[in-house]
Amino acid sequence: MHRRMLLIVALFAATLVAAMGLTACNSAPAATSTAEATDGSDGADEPAKITRSIGEFVGSGEMHDDRFFHDLVTLDDGRVMAVGGRGKGQGGGGDWPSVYDTTEVYDPATGEWTRTGPLVEGRRNMVVASLPDGSVLVAGGVGLTLDPFDTAELWDPASDIWTLTGSMSVAREDEAWTVLPDGRVIVIGGLDIELFRRLASTEIYDPATGEWTEVAEMSVERTLHVAVTLEDGRVLVVGGGKLDGPHLKTAELYDPATDTWTEAGEMSVGRVLHTVTLLSDGRVLVVGGKGKKKSGEIWDPATSTWTSVAELANARSEHSTVLLADGRVMVAGGLGVGGSTEIYDPGLDIWTVAPDMLESRYRHVVTLLADGRVLITGGNGKESVLAETELYVP
């Protein structure tokens, strides 16, 4: 009888220890993936496991205006400016949607938004770029009448005043743009609404002169495409087309040193409403697009070829992507997928489902802060346009 009691106590203790270990493992905010063995074995003895924090989302107040089709720009002091966009309107009733001329600045140290000077003209879907002297360039975009602008304006951080600068050669809608390594800003393609034709033309803004210069045209006309500046200073332009198709598979490269465009291969599918992210190793990740696309692919500048990557858990368009400080890529939100997020590890070609955002969002804008957190702003939510902002904390 005594031996039986000792055995029962021992079994109870072992069960308690196992349960405590299981609880400890389940409480860790981490994702675990099992990689296949690469040495020809089945990997059954020692599966390779990768465990990384998947972070959390926390609220960070509200902007003064609800916004979508707006943009964010990081200022020299680390604060972030939200510019323009469309929303319910100053009254908030939603009967008369507005295109905002308002701007406001987020301070990561305090989590507060402060109004800054108004634009000369209210705009959405515009170019918003930080210039080398700390000023901000806004160009093009669409007003409340749906007519695009050819005008551009500059924000002076010392005076908090916007003033007009040189105008583009043509008003553009659904154009792509990026900042060159020397601080000039290139605007590519788009739709000429007056002639209702897509554009292959390209022009560059020079902050030193305040003027735009037309440069070589792309090989094809593009709208709803995306552009990114590569590590070597060239510009990669990807996809584009009409919303209802056809969608372009092609990509091309602009070299500002020679003012020439060259082909950059074809993706597996045509894409619009997709995103492009420059990875830490210089490759380029393209994700999603209209048409319930769960696919992504990577362009390698060394070979100028595209390679498909692992599929996302959710098909995404009108979503956001951001390169995290550790080299992974966070994909957030999108049309019809609520607040869901996923994180891609380009070294392992693995997607990890991360926590949902606090709000469902599409047409929102995100940016990486200096401390590694990610600021998420605005967008369309479940019921209306959002003023709420939140932070992703890795």
pLDDT tens, residue by residue, 65-109: 999 999 999 999 999 999 999 998 654 444 556 899 999 999 999
Res 96: pLDDT = 57
Element (H, E) at 11: helix 2-26
> What are the beta bridge partners of residue 98?
87
* Residue spans of the chain under pLDDT 70: 1-53, 89-97
**Residue recorded with tokens 């080299």:** 327
Quick one: 348 exposed, middle or buried, by C-beta within 10 A (0-12, 13-18, 19+)? middle
User: Can you tell me the distance from the alpha carbon of 164 to that of 152, in angstroms, rounded to the nearest whole number?
Assistant: 6
Res 368: pLDDT = 98
Res 20: pLDDT = 36
pLDDT tens, residue by residue, 21-69: 333 333 333 443 323 333 333 434 433 334 466 899 999 999 999 999 9
Q: Residue 162's closest CA among 212, 252, 92, 100?
A: 100
pLDDT tens, residue by residue, 168-177: 999 998 999 9
Determine the Cα angle at 248 with ends 243 and 251, to 5°.
Answer: 135
pTM for the full predicted model: 0.86
Q: Is the Cβ–Cβ distance between 381 and 359 less than 8 Å? A: yes
